[in-house]
Amino acid sequence: MESPVSRQAYVESLNAVQHWMHTELLTFGTFIQCLIIITVSIAAMMIAPAVSGWVRTWHRRVDSETRIGQTTNAFLRRLSLLLMPLSVPVLALPPLWIAHAVAQAAGWQHQTLRLAVSLLAAWIVIRLTSNLVRDRFWARAIAVLAWIVAALNIFGVLGSTFTFLASVGITFGGLRISPIAVFTGLLWLAILLWLATWIARMLESRVLAKSGIPPSLQVLFARIVKVMLIVAAVFIALGTIGIDLTAFAVFTGACAGVGIGFGLQAIFNNFIAGLILLSEKSLKVGDFVDLERDHLAGTVRHINIRNTIITTPDNIDVAVPNSEFVNGRFTNWTMLDAHARIHVPFGVAYGTESELLRRVVFEAVEGVKFTLKGVEGRDPQLWLVRFGESRLELELVVWLTSEGIHRPAGARAAYAWAIYDALRAAGIAIPFPQREVHLHGVAVRTTGAPPA
């Protein structure tokens, strides 16, 4: 049997719900808010196709322009592509937000508008985050944060929550750190770091690429600007938290000195070595280098702040510290000239006709794709190096194309096989060392029956 107390509580709850529906939901103010939301949504759906068509026309115009135009509008083009599927909510959000602000300032009912604005803003943020942020963890973290902010705003406690988070904190001397200050600082740091990286990338790919500055100096300027922007971003983010930048600069300077003296010495050396390489122009992207100490040869792909990426002829990327190039010896095959020559040793038998040998070897060389052709003074040569014990020792000296320079081992093998096949086809002997043994005054005893 149901107790009178529980029945009375049920009736009071039902009456409270009915009262809320009559005073908050089934009111003229709520009707007007719903009417505004429906009107704005219909208008956004009607305008969205026209806006999407205008954006597509702008894309076609940008694509038909020069590469400079494409590069200049690359960021806006990517952003518009991300916003096109969200054209309806993006167009509906500003007028709904304005209507909510006006209703709130006038003291009218605005709960329904606040609900619509909060949910719409959270949805847009989550959709953009899922497309922009590749890391799933951070994308989900931002999505959860957006829903939390939207829920707090819907229930009207967003401002009080921020006030509470700002009121609690830890005090260090004259510095007070609160959760909201830390969150604000991290948010500013993320935005400014992204902006610094984007500015440095745009500076390197657009401004410096068209300035006529050598590529090595372009990389140098871009790296310096990027480091300066990142440092500025960190200091600005710390300033938003309330940290005294003067005291922080003194403290970090002392810590940096100790760190460089101990754990950061190698990093600092590599950074300075990278700046030296870029400023001296002794190394640039695209050069083929050979490090004697490491027995490493390959093409320079990237010159970073701490290391240089070299791709070997086997298509293996190797990260070499920049200090290796400054403190050690390395050979740059393409520093001042894009062409280089190699020596391919081989030998032929004594008595080989020289004119026949030259003709056979040079014809074989012409058939190798690595041979440089059409450049005056850089024709293949055949050198007689020395008179060996059992053969004439020669060297083929041939200039290589750019492809051959970046594949020296493959080029040598190609010329060796070409010479070998050509000598065999021409009947020219390739001798090998032989030894004759003479026995003097030694008795030889044989066993068995003499030959018939």
Mean pLDDT by 10 residues, the chain (452 residues): 58 60 63 84 85 74 52 58 74 86 81 81 77 72 78 73 72 70 79 79 66 62 78 79 64 59 65 74 81 81 82 85 82 77 89 90 90 84 88 90 83 92 89 71 61 56
pLDDT of residue 209: 58
Beta strands in 260-361 (DSSP E): 288-291, 296-303, 307-311, 317-321, 330-332, 340-348
18 shares its domain with 129: yes
Burial annotation 150-180 (CB, 10 A radius, 16+ → b, else e):
bebbbeeebeeebeeeeeebeeeeeeeebeb
- Whether 73 is in a domain gets the answer yes
The identity of residue 82, as a single letter, is: L
Give the structural domain span for 321.
273-332
Q: What is the DSSP string of 133-194?
A: ---HHHHHHHHHHHHHHHHHHHTT-HHHHHHHHHH--EEETTEEE-HHHHHHHHHHHHHHHH
pLDDT of residue 109: 76
344 shares its domain with 366: yes
Cβ atoms of 329 and 288 closer than 8 Å: no
- Those residues whose C-beta lies under 8 Å from the C-beta of residue 230, and which sit 6 or more positions away, are 193, 196, 197
151 shares its domain with 43: yes
The pair of three-digit structure tokens given for residue 259, joined into one six-digit string? 């760190």
- Between CA 331 and CA 200, with CA 205 as vertex, the angle to 5 degrees is 95
pLDDT of residue 382: 92
310 shares its domain with 415: no
β partners of residue 393? 347, 386
- Those residues whose C-beta lies under 8 Å from the C-beta of residue 180, and which sit 6 or more positions away, are 162, 165, 166
The pair of three-digit structure tokens given for residue 412, joined into one six-digit string? 């040598």
71 shares its domain with 146: yes
3-state secondary structure of 290: strand
Q: How many separate domains does the chain show?
A: 3
- Whether 322 is in a domain gets the answer yes
The pair of three-digit structure tokens given for residue 280, joined into one six-digit string? 């001296």
pLDDT of residue 206: 64
